[in-house]
Amino acid sequence: MTYQDLYTQIKKKKSFLCIGLDTDPSRIPGHLKRLEDPVYEFNKRIIDATSDLCIAYKPNLAFYEALGPEGLLSLQKTIEYIPADIFTIADAKRGDIGNTSELYAKAYFEKFSFDAITVNPYMGNDSVVPFLQFKGKWVILLALTSNEGSMDFQLLKAPGKELYKQVILKSKDWAGPDQLMYVVGATQAEFLREIRVLIPDHFLLIPGIGAQGGDLESVVKNGINHSVGLIVNSSRSIIYASKEEGFERAVRQKSQEIKKEMEDLMDKYL
Amino acid sequence: MTYQDLYTQIKKKKSFLCIGLDTDPSRIPGHLKRLEDPVYEFNKRIIDATSDLCIAYKPNLAFYEALGPEGLLSLQKTIEYIPADIFTIADAKRGDIGNTSELYAKAYFEKFSFDAITVNPYMGNDSVVPFLQFKGKWVILLALTSNEGSMDFQLLKAPGKELYKQVILKSKDWAGPDQLMYVVGATQAEFLREIRVLIPDHFLLIPGIGAQGGDLESVVKNGINHSVGLIVNSSRSIIYASKEEGFERAVRQKSQEIKKEMEDLMDKYL
């Protein structure tokens, strides 16, 4: 998927919502637990209920790995079920020495056909570049994450500038905004203005609204660019909107609320 | 496995060798490819040929994920096959926000019964601590990795001290040397002396001898402590020592050479 494809989809749907498919079998509605592959069945219903309202789905790999090999089978079926025009992100936070990063890239870009993967920058250039060799695929590099621990190292002055800025400044030479995005937590909205000075054109993947407490309007006000440039993720507050039979209605309603807010904010700030 | 168990095994075997089970199906001897699960069959033979010479096995997860769900089945069988007194390390380099790190911990400590997992420190305290909640299990935190990209961020002064030192100094309050180790590449032996000033007691996992070019004597001279405190990994130079039928002999011989060098170095420096 190209930068332009993404922007076109955002304009068409008037949404920059990404739904996190962080599916925990213990939180799935009871009536689905009797089916053969409850994780896949749940995801399928979430996708059916929301695919016209969001532009991306982002399964966090931990939820599937925690289920062992069967979990990866559920993931594979889920990815195949997502409509081809919707952006898919493997939230894997991988990164390893070169030949090993290439294997991760093959796993997620080829075996699972994801459009993008989140990558941890700690190991530097040769741990990230192997992911960038895949045409039409995206790397989403962790910059400033939404958790409290982001203060431990990402905000250290390293030197002069914070580490997360060093990550952005160095990595933006490794690929252009057509292949590289950055993760910036919604809880870090006050940093978005400074980040936009460094990377005016890049897309940012913004987790942390909803359950984690980030505020959507602050994110948009400080982070929007000419192509919107934001993919805002919500997981728990959407997919666990109800545990009852007919949960799909609650899921759709919650997604619609967020989508409507996004539409209004695009009108206001774009 | 406890700190003392590890040291006891090292003394008994006169070895601190870890063998990296980075099994690439395209590099497996031809006669194994006809079997039902070539990756597992290869690993089994490596383990049979080396389990009295090494103290740990370290599969890098990327090699198994690249094969899809079947790869994780091969991994599961491999881990079950490793004798219980040998330390097992999931080289996964994971790390995510708290509730997600906990899922990774469950996956590798409970589903797969690994003794240890490598963790990436970029996301800070609350991404690492969930792994430390599992009794008798170990976290091996990336500090200074063996690849060229380690210079990009790990060696930045952040501020005053290099980032990898900030990682060590901050994280050593999160758990003691009985639960926490650090990755330091063999290619970074000149830094080991300074690292030992900060953490005299911790074990270090040292990748990068053999194919990556690190020198074992420099590692031992600069990094050994009262309990040896080193787990030195070799992958490719051992497991791909031969592609022929009877490759097990070449694998064993190469392991014996390294083990003998380790024994001599323990005599010299301990």
The one catalytic residue among B14, B44, B93, B172: B93
What is the number of helices (H) and of strands (E) in chain A? Answer: 12, 8
Cβ(B188)–Cβ(B144) below 8 Å: yes
Contacts of A159 in chain B (CB under 8 A): 156-159
Read off the pLDDT of residues B1-39 as tens digits, 9 standing for 90 and up.
999 999 999 999 999 999 999 999 999 999 999 999 999
End-to-end CA distance of chain B: 23
d(CA A68, CA A253): 32
Specify the pLDDT at position A214. Answer: 79
A93 labelled catalytic: yes
Q: B73 and A70 in contact by Cβ < 8 A?
A: no
A residues 65-94 closer than 8 Å to B (CB): 65-70, 72-73, 76, 91, 93-94
Residue position matching structure tokens 């080193």: B230
Tokens of A249: 């209605």
A–B CB contacts, 8 A cutoff, strictly below: 183
Residue-wise pLDDT tens digits, B43-88: 999 999 999 999 999 999 999 999 988 999 999 999 999 999 999 9
SS3 B110: helix
CB contacts, 8 Å: B123 with chain A: 93, 120, 142, 145, 147, 149-150, 154
Q: Say whether B107 and A157 touch across the interface (CB within 8 A).
A: no
pLDDT in tens, B221-232: 999 999 999 999
Average pLDDT, chain B: 96
Catalytic-labelled residue, pool A11, A77, A93, A172: A93
pLDDT confidence of A116, banded at 50, 70, 90?
Answer: very high
| pTM more than 0.95 | yes
pLDDT at B251 over 80: yes
Ordered structural domains, chain A, with CATH: 3-269 (3.20.20.70)
A100 with B62: Cβ contact below 8 A: yes
Q: Distance from first CA to last CA of chain A, Å, rounded?
A: 23
Phi/psi for A101 (5° steps) reads -60, -35
pLDDT at B211 over 80: no
